[in-house]
Structure 1
Amino acid sequence: MRILALASATENCSVALLIGRRLIAREQLLEHGHAEHILPMADELLREADVSLGALSAIAFGRGPGSFTGVRLAASVAQGLAFGAGLPVVPISDLRALAQRVMELDAAVTRVLVCNDARMHEVYWGCFERPAGGAVAAAAQDEQVGKPAAVSLPASWFAAPRAVHAAGSGFVAYPELRIGLAGQLERIHDALLPRAAEIARLAVPEVASGRVLPAEQALPVYLRDDVAHATGGGH
């Protein structure tokens, strides 16, 4: 299986190429200018691996939520590449990708709360867990956007307690998140961002089971209805 993955929903602009079990990646932390870097990074990876675009199994991309312009960029680039090469696409939640990153850092972690800064004093957030015997993070409830005070853990997690880790830029932007969740979180990974590497790995079971989409359905997920009026960093 050969999967090219793209992520640009946050300041971490990244591309990954997964060939079997081998993964190579490029990433840059950028305040702006993701569009100028993402395609050259993808071309560089394909040349390094000596793989043509048409030889890929699929193109995966971070579908959001995140920066309006960044999420739109990942979807449009994935769509354009897939159209040209006749490939399917696999949209992956950027929140889920960050949860997966935390779980890969510590194999003992099975529950992760992700809260990323959505600007306007709101966060994009979601709760994810790895089922028994599973290898990847799955959503424990629908992803949401809202005030930090609205963030909460699923009731089922309290019924069967296990350590919960958290991640995301929201914990840096809004200190009240830590206060509201005091005593409920084992550890907060506030410096981690979503990456294409985890998006590629999460796409593997999707491609293997045929859960792919045609290129024209490479669509972003914003969560917020008023994205056109959002301010600051394209959010």
Structure 2
Amino acid sequence: MTRLLAIDTSSAWCSVALSLGDSAPQLRHELVSAGASQCLLPWIENLLAQANQQLSQLDAIAIGIGPGAFTGVRLGLAAVQGLAIATNLPVLPVASLDAIAAQLTKTPHFAKIKPTQFVIAVDARMGEIYWAKYEFNSSTSLPLRIGNIQLSKPEEIDLRNIQYLAGSAIKEFGERLFVNHSFPSEALDPEISISALGILELAQQMFKAGQQISVNQLEPLYVRNKVAFTTNEREIAFKKGTR
């Protein structure tokens, strides 16, 4: 029986899932904005208590390493570092877009369309998006990412040969995503967002493959080095927006 704790704080959601073998995982998933720092550890303690488990009895801790909100990513990693060091547990690092992709393939809407190639695109702030391409075969349990996660302007997304598009960038940027390619409404999912269940799904496969790492090797996946505009850049952007 594989026992895993999965955590994600890379978005406005605080999400924690606990899996104990074949039983359905327990999940706490709420929109908290900047309140994850106050919720995360109490939620973990509560889920463990409900399951009558100690953290040290688990096999590993899975964590969403980003890309995502800079502060949120750091919060999640710091929490996992403390928990893993205290219990000598290995960790399973999961990229946020990969977790969303894993969740997406389980949705009825996706299953009805049956796309073999799709893109996850999420709002990266500062007028940009994080996005990645995936392949999916119904005979396999998880989608396969094609290449690296990208950071670009919405207009620069590559949607060639893509049959389905999902993620928060659809609502945030609308037609800016569809400059060179259009999609029917049934091939879009603007509502899906990251959850610890997606982290958990990938982590379970990673653990089976022996891909857990020491907490000393844990690093965030930022993709973007710059996390905020300067005052001058904000003023320029404001002036452009008022023209």
What TM-score, normalized to structure 2?
0.86
Flag the 1:80–1:104 CA change in 2: closer, same or farther, 3 A: same
Deviation at 1:228, TM superposition (A): 5.9
Question: Which runs of no fewer than 5 residues in structure 2 stay unpaired?
Answer: 235-243
2:212, 2:6 → 1: CA distance? 14
Question: Aligned residue for 1:2?
Answer: 3
**Residue in 1 aligned with 2:193?**
193
* Residue pairs, 1:96-107, within 5 angstroms: 96-106=98-108, 107=111
Q: Which residue number corresponds to residue 95 of structure 1?
A: 97
Aligned to 1:114: 120
Give the deviation of 1:227 after TM superposition. 2.5
Counterpart in 2 of 1:150? 156
**Alpha-carbon distance change, 76 to 53 in structure 1, aligned in 2, over 3 angstroms:** same
Bigger relative contact order, structure 1 or 2, given CA contacts below 8 A and separation 6+? Answer: 1
In the TM superposition, what is the alpha-carbon distance from 1:153 to its structure 2 partner? 3.2
Correspondence for 1:83: 85
1:170 aligns with 2:172: no
CA distance in 1, matches of 2:207, 2:99: 16
Paired residues of 1:122 and 1:146 also in contact (CA < 8 A): yes
The one-letter amino acid paired with 1:52 is: Q
Give the SS at the match of 1:204.
helix
**SS across alignment from 2:89:** coil
Q: 1:50 aligns with which of 28, 52, 56?
A: 52
Moved more, 129-138 or 90-99: 129-138
Q: CA RMSD in A?
A: 2.1
Q: Which residue pairs with 1:125 in the alignment?
A: 131
Contact 1:95 1:126 in 2 (8 A): yes
Structure 1 residues 74 and 109, CA gap change in structure 2 (3 angstroms): farther
* Residue identity matched to 1:134: T
Which structure has the bigger radius of gyration? 2
Q: CA deviation at 1:77?
A: 1.1
The AA in structure 2 aligned to 1:57 is: D
Instruction: Give deviations 1:97-142, integer Å, cap 9, x for gaps.
Output: 1111110113444433111111111001111222463101221121
TM-fit CA distance, 1:229: 5.2
> Structure 1: which 4+ aligned runs deviate by more than 6 Å?
none
| Structure 1 residues not aligned, in runs of 5+ | none
Letter in 2 for 1:224: R
* Equivalenced residues, count: 225
TM-score (normalizing by structure 1): 0.88
Identity of aligned residues (%): 33
Write the distance in 2 (CA, Å) between the matches of 1:16 and 1:130. Answer: 25
Cα distance in 2, alignment partners of residues 171 and 84 from structure 1: 41
**Structure 1 pair 229/43, CA: closer, same or farther in 2 (3 Å)?**
farther
For 2:79 and 2:164, the matched residues in 1 are separated by 32
d(CA) in 1 for partners of 2:61, 2:177? 35
Q: Distance in 2 between matches of 1:185 and 1:153?
A: 15
- Asked if the contact 2:155/2:179 (under 8 Å) is kept, the reply is no
